[in-house]
Amino acid sequence: MPDVSAYLMKENAEQKAYIENTLKDPYNAYCVDCKEEPSTHFNVGFGIWICTNCAKLHVQETSERVKPAYGEIWDLHTLKVAHYGGNQQWHDYLEEYKSSNKVKPSWRYKNGNSKWYKRNLQMRAYGVAFSETKPPKNFKETMNASAQILDKVSNKTDAFFR
Ligand SMILES: [Zn+2]
């Protein structure tokens, strides 16, 4: 294999300034996972800012593309994910599902709620409409959702047996 690292393209001044500015946001400034270390990397799947140590875990646990904040060019899609995403949105979403602290990082990025968040963010960044229903937040919502499905099924069977 040739030394592909030699092909790396440095970011331009505008991109650097944009990321510097994005990292001035108090939520983005610190790692969304450990909340202790300053952000140095970006998880392109979930649109979140993380520290160097957590970045290594993210590569292993989420298999998402993880980019350093500085030193290389970002493509348009990644810039859009950064624009629509961010640590506060992800944090608020986890709060909604009450899974911000209870759930281990390895599971936090793999469960159904997280997958919905990621797909929604990615579709927004691609400019594609996303119509998948948001996952239920709690037991009550889960029961309501299944009751609605059962309702539809029983309506169908009623019509069938009429
Ligand atoms: Zn961290």
The pLDDT tens digits of the residues spanning 81-138 come to: 999 999 999 999 999 987 666 667 678 898 889 999 999 999 999 999 999 999 988 7
Distance CA 49, CA 20 (A): 12
Both 92 and 59 in one domain: the answer is yes
Query: Is residue 143 domain-shared with residue 126, that is, in the same domain?
Result: no
Compute the distance from residue 107 Cα to the ligand 1 centre, in Å. Answer: 16
Quote the number of domains for the chain: 2
Query: How many angstroms does the Cα of residue 55 sit away from the middle of ligand 1?
Result: 7
Instruction: Give strand pairing partners of 41.
Output: 50, 68
- Residue 91 shares a structural domain with residue 32: yes
What is the domain extent for residue 148? 138-162
Sign of the four-CA dihedral 87, 74, 51, 101: positive
Q: At what angle do helices 87-96 and 112-126 cross, to 10 degrees?
A: 140
pLDDT tens readout for residues 41-67: 999 999 999 999 999 999 998 899 999
> Ligand 1 mean position to 48 CA, how many Å?
11
CA of 53 to the centre of ligand 1 (A): 6
